[in-house]
Amino acid sequence: MKREDLTAKGLTTEQIDFVMAEYGKEINPLKAERDSYKNQLDTAQASLKAMEGIDAAALQTKVTNLTAQLQGKDTEIAKIKADYEFDASVKEAIRKASGRNEKAIMALLDTDTLKASKNQAQDIETAIADLKKESDYLFQQPSTIPRVVSSTTGINNDAQTKKEQANEALRSLLGKGE
């Protein structure tokens, strides 16, 4: 709609201004919406053009493969963690049993069976106790400290010097009193 067309129809300037204002109220929102859609279309076409030559199926396969590898790594990490915890518990049990050589003792244990055990701590202790009975040389024997009992009255506290106290202690140990 043009002003010249309305003037040719015989409308006054006031009438033309009113008609043009009303027409603008209706058409301007439609033009803005059209421009918005045009911008969205241009953006979508540019994005599609950027993706030309990309194989979506290959990308999906690659994503699937990478996800499977990641899950495999998680499983591997969990296995390593479990092996470390098992080794630590076996070594701790060997130390408690006064083992002389951890590597030698671990070589004689059936670690695969112990790893698969549901009650690992108890089974490890049982296996080490059995091994201690079979191969006691791998474990330190508890040593008894000899207790020296003197038949004398003990050290003379009246002794003056350290040398005299030492001599007195030796005499009491050897059983030679004054």
Do residues 26 and 71 both lie within one domain?
A: no
Checking phi first, is residue 144 left (phi over 0); if not, alpha (psi -120 to 50) or beta? beta
One domain for residues 23 and 70: no
38 or 6, greater pLDDT: 38
For the segment 28-82, what is each residue's pLDDT rounded down to a tens digit?
Answer: 999 999 999 999 999 999 988 888 878 888 889 999 999 999 988 989 999 999 8
**Per-residue model confidence as pLDDT tens digits over 107-119:** 888 888 888 888 8
Asked whether residue 102 is domain-assigned, the answer is yes
> By the 8 A CB rule, do 106 and 88 touch?
no
Which pLDDT score, from 0 to 100, does residue 54 have?
81
Output the pTM of the full model: 0.45
In a domain, 174, yes or no: no
Q: Is the pLDDT of residue 131 over 80?
A: yes
Q: pLDDT digits over 138-164, tens only?
A: 888 777 666 665 555 555 555 467 888
For residue 171, tell me if it sits in a domain: no
Could you tell me if 36 and 63 lie in one domain?
no
In the chain, the number of structural domains is: 2
Specify whether 62 is located in the same domain as 36.
no
Verify that 62 and 114 share a domain, yes or no.
yes
On whether residue 178 sits in a domain, the answer given is no
Q: How far is CA 2 from the centre of its chain?
A: 74
Residue 40 lies in a domain: yes
Range of the domain at 99: 58-138
In a domain, 165, yes or no: no
Q: Ramachandran region of residue 170, left (φ > 0), alpha (ψ -120 to 50) or beta?
A: alpha
* Residue 123 or residue 147, greater confidence: 123
Say if residue 13 is in the same domain as residue 34. Answer: yes
Kindly state whether residue 114 falls inside one of the protein's structural domains.
yes
The 8-class DSSP code of residue 99 comes to B
135: its two tokens: 């191969």
In this structure, is residue 94 part of a structural domain?
Answer: yes
Do 84 and 68 share a structural domain? Answer: yes
Question: Whose structure tokens read 């069976």?
Answer: 113
Residue type, 14: E
